[in-house]
Amino acid sequence: MGNMFFSKKLCTALCILITIIMLGALASCTPSDSGKESGSVTPGGETDTDNRESESETNTSTVPGKDTLKIMYDGKTDFQIVRAENSTDDEKTALLALREAILKKTGTEIPVVTDFERLYPVKEYEIIIGNTKRADKEYILDTSSLGNFDYMIKTVGNRIIIIGGSSSATLAATKYFISTIIDNADSANITLDLGYAYESIHKTNNEKLIKVMTQNLLATDTEYASHPETGMYTIAKRSERIKQLIISNAPDVIGVQECSAPWREYFDKISSSIRYKRIGADKNQKIGILYDSNKYKVIKSASFWLSPDPEHEKYATEWNNGKQPTERLGMYVIFENKATGDRFAHFNTHVGFDTELLAQNQTKVLLNYIDKVKKEYDCPILITGDFNYTSTTAQYKTFTSGIMRDTKFLATKSEGAGSFNRLKDKNQHTHAIDQIMVSFEDWAVHSYKVDYTTFDGYFASDHFAVVSEIEMLK
């Protein structure tokens, strides 16, 4: 009897215990307070089924329990930076700037690869710079709305995409990412929220539009004396054609080269009728700038020789195999918009072509002055000129290796090729030797063209005009 009573008590206890276990199991299956099931949907749209708590400690790319990418954690990273195998110079510059910023901040160098997958396999954690073969294959991102000056930065899964509507916009996007994410991180950890998204969409401000023109005028009546129709190419004949080019293009500022005494007299004579005033380089007025005097006022102007001693020395024989080269110089004018107060610096130049060394060193003098003016006035820079070199040369690459870029390659709409005609035809050069360059972070370039206009078949000069419409961003 006693044994039977004990057995009944044991049976009752077991039933109670089983009931408690079943209730606990049922409770574990109910939804959480947030309405999500176990495992969360990240802002980037991917399902995090294990809530990151079961990941091994070697995967440092996300914070356990949080929707965060760890770009760098305790000096370690699972990320690599990816660029296209055929990426542009601006994209390469962007990549190097990002790598250096991360190295400077954390002391750790992040791996850099191209999108050539046979050599560099796809990884789960990547920072992708610009357009690569990863697009539409490893991730989907709609970039169709990006204009030349627009960019976006976005996480897609465990990838960070930095991309612009042009390579210069991609560079701008990378600099934004560095300044807002990398520079603000602590020294050991760099993180980014999953679902992070930033877009910079440019809207045109007509008050900040500037149309720029450069024109080598051809200084004399005799340079093409052997031309069969030399009588049609005197300054007296050509001056009206130049005037018509100015009227038809309606630029705000014009850089002129080979502005000899007859040209200066002509421009000063017609200035009131075409609203342009002329500023000649004070060291030698063979280069000058014409500007819309109704729209702009002059804050400062200065000139300098393209020589080792730019303030005093007209030329350097040591740059020209011991021979005396033609005197070359540069100038700049700080303009202020009368209506808005916006300022910019307009440089103008005519570079020598005697030797490559000469052109390289004269280019470096120009860049030194651009750097000085940029630091002093902190304003956008543009330069017009007959550079006597094309985009295929070492000198050109030197000029565009820093803050300056050619409007031809920045423009949303770009037309024309060669700019030197020798009074023959437009195909004397397949690349322009007359350029309009800008400090690319300060301007949006809407259009570029080499103006191939002739007048009853006759040229205005042995150089065509080059015209760009640019917009000040600052």
Instruction: Give SS3 for 297.
Output: strand
The single-letter code of the amino acid at 381 is I
Give the whole-angstrom CA distance, residue 309 versus residue 286: 20
pTM, full prediction: 0.74
Give the whole-angstrom CA distance, residue 189 versus residue 185: 7
Beta strands 190-193 and 296-305 are unpaired
Alpha carbon distance, N-terminus to C-terminus of the chain: 99
Distances (CA, A) of 333 to 204, 253, 255, 437: 25, 11, 11, 15
Q: What angle do CA 335, 287, 464 make, to 5 degrees?
A: 100
Local structure of residue 208 (DSSP, 8 states): G
Q: How confident is the model at residue 21 (pLDDT cuts 50, 70, 90)?
A: very low
Question: Is the CB of residue 61 less than 8 Å from the CB of residue 69?
Answer: yes
Distances (CA, A) of 216 to 97, 249, 330, 351, 422: 38, 16, 14, 12, 12
> Is residue 56 pLDDT above 80, yes or no?
no
Q: How confident is the model at residue 272 (pLDDT cuts 50, 70, 90)?
A: confident
| 124 vs 13, more confident | 124
| 47 vs 2, more confident | 2
The single-letter code of the amino acid at 22 is M
Give the whole-angstrom CA distance, residue 91 versus residue 129: 7
pLDDT at position 66? 60
Each residue of 384-418: pLDDT tens digit?
A: 999 999 999 999 999 999 999 999 999 999 999 99
Question: Is the CB of residue 386 less than 8 Å from the CB of residue 215?
Answer: no
Average the pLDDT over 157-173 and give the result: 92
> Is residue 369 pLDDT above 80, yes or no?
yes
pLDDT at position 92? 93
> Is residue 48 pLDDT above 60, yes or no?
no
Give the whole-angstrom CA distance, residue 276 versus residue 291: 5
Lowest mean pLDDT among 189-203, 354-368, 379-393, 421-435: 421-435
* Sign, CA torsion 161/96/411/416: negative
